[in-house]
Amino acid sequence: MEDFEKAIELVPQYAAAIYNRGLTQKIIGRCTASIEDFDEALKLNPTNAAALKQRGLCKAILDSYEAAIKTTTKPSSWIPHLLRPSVPMWSPSC
């Protein structure tokens, strides 16, 4: 996380570093802080589907299910390909 902190210090508008810091914080259990980073990353890049997804997952982890649903379904008009699984969820041969 120190590398992301340094990158953000050098370039405060570095959306990828902010997103990755948020992802790291989520992994170590700091969901509230990670939501703040995902919000910031989305301000800088509103079509960052990964930040949107991770923000929704963090809200679900924090038991804010309605907010998680709103977060993850809102942009369906600009990311329809992300709403379909790339790999089939089941196979008739299973």
Closest to 81 (Cα-Cα) out of 44, 36, 49: 49
CB atoms within 10 A of CB 34: 25
Predicted confidence (pLDDT) per residue in 41-82, tens digit: 999 998 888 898 888 888 888 876 666 566 665 554 555 445
Domains and CATH numbers, the chain: 2-82 (1.25.40.10)
> What distance in Å separates the CA atoms of residue 38 and residue 91, rounded to the nearest whole number?
34
Q: 0.75 cut: is pTM over it?
A: no
Instruction: Specify the pLDDT at position 93.
Output: 42
How high does pLDDT run on average in the chain? 78
> What distance in Å separates the CA atoms of residue 93 and residue 88, rounded to the nearest whole number?
12
